[in-house]
Every structure is written in C-alpha cells, then in structure tokens.
Amino acid sequence: MPQLHRNSQKRFYGPDKIYFIVTKTHKNYPYFKEPIFCDLFLEELKLGRQLKRFKLYGFCLVYDHLNLLIEPGEKYNISQVMKSLKENVSRDINYIMANRCYEGDTSTCRLPLRSLIAKLQKQFMERYGEHRYAGPRFKWQKSFYDHVIRDEKDFANHYTYTVDNYAKHNLPEDWLYTSSNFEDLVDY
C-alpha cells in the first residue's frame, strides 16, 4: 500500500514509480557555473545511483538547479535518495571551497570519492587561490519538488523537459551537464 510522507510535502511513495524531481540551490545562487562543482555533482550522481540503487532516466544540471527523472529501488525511497545526494554534494563542495581536509563524515559518506575531491580541490585552489572565491557556502534549498509520472505521454513530456532544460535557460547548445551527454549513466 502506498504511503504518504510524514511532513507537509505529502510525498507519495509507491512501488515502481518514476519521479520527476526539481531541486534548487539556496536563494538560486549559481554555484554550478563552476565546472569543478558540476563534475563533482556528476560523480556523486554516479556513485549515489550505485549505492541507493535507483534507475536514472534523465538529468540536467544548470547554474542554480537540478532536474532528475528517476525511479527509486526497493530499499530507498525518493526522499532518502535526494537527502543522500544533496547532503553529499553540499558537504563535498564546501570542503573544496574551504580548502579543508575531511574532518568528519555524513551518515551517507562516499569514501570512494575522496581522491577525486582532493584533485578537484587542488584545481579549485589553483583557479581561485586560498581565499579568493567570493561565493557563499554551498546549500540547497530545503526540500524539493516531485511529480509522479502517470503514463508514457507524461514520461515523454518530462523526459524532454529534463534533458533539454539547459535550452530553456539560454545555456549553450553544447551544454555538457545533461544526460544526453552521459548515455552510460542513464537507464533505458
């Protein structure tokens, strides 16, 4: 029997459901203008897909938000998947920006990414110097928007909207951070 989420969003959790998700950065800050943060996000998405065992049908990361089309597996619901992804992306980007070493891990820490994060942190410091990055600490807005896909037509509409979302935001035609450029990462 499907369950409703315990807080005010009233999320619908049902078996074999595909969700269209939108989540934004705090105050719509354009953190993802920085390719280093985009690359880190992609690695977190890849690892999260393996660890949380969800199917990924499409995504598009633009400067201030993320669109996803995913199907959670049996063990983790959509809220657990999004919590893990947002928590780890935030933590790792903040480590890179602050030029810090790992001092503690989150409940869903991704140890395999530590060497990549160290490499990206070095690139970030070479680009900005120790204290020259003027942006605020990375944060996502609380919660996220979700829509349960109803049928094939609904899926097709949300799929097109998701993978082509960069065009809606006047980003270049060769925008890299969309699932159409990462066929090995998506499920068909």
Q: Report domain extents, the chain.
A: 14-181
| pLDDT, position 174 | 94
* pLDDT for position 107: 46
- pLDDT given for residue 132 in this prediction: 64
Question: How high is the pLDDT of residue 96?
Answer: 85
pLDDT digits (tens, 9 = 90+) for 28-51: 999 999 999 999 999 999 999 999
Asked: is 14-181 a CATH 3.30.70.1290 domain? The reply is: yes
Cβ-Cβ contacts under 8 Å for 127 (sequence gap 6 or more):
36
Among 29-38, 58-67, 129-138, the minimum mean pLDDT is found in: 129-138
Mean pLDDT of 115-140: 80
> Does the pLDDT of residue 14 top 70, yes or no?
yes
| Residue pair 149/17 in contact by the 8 Å Cβ criterion | yes
pLDDT tops 90 at residue 127: no
pLDDT confidence of residue 5: 47
Q: Beta-carbon neighbour count of residue 123 at 10 Å?
A: 13
Contact 121/96 with Cβ under 8 angstroms?
A: yes
For 100-109, which contacts have Cβ atoms below 8 Å and span 24 or more sequence positions?
108/51, 108/83, 108/84
Cα dihedral sign, 182-183-187-188: positive
Query: Is the model more confident about 81 or about 127?
Result: 81
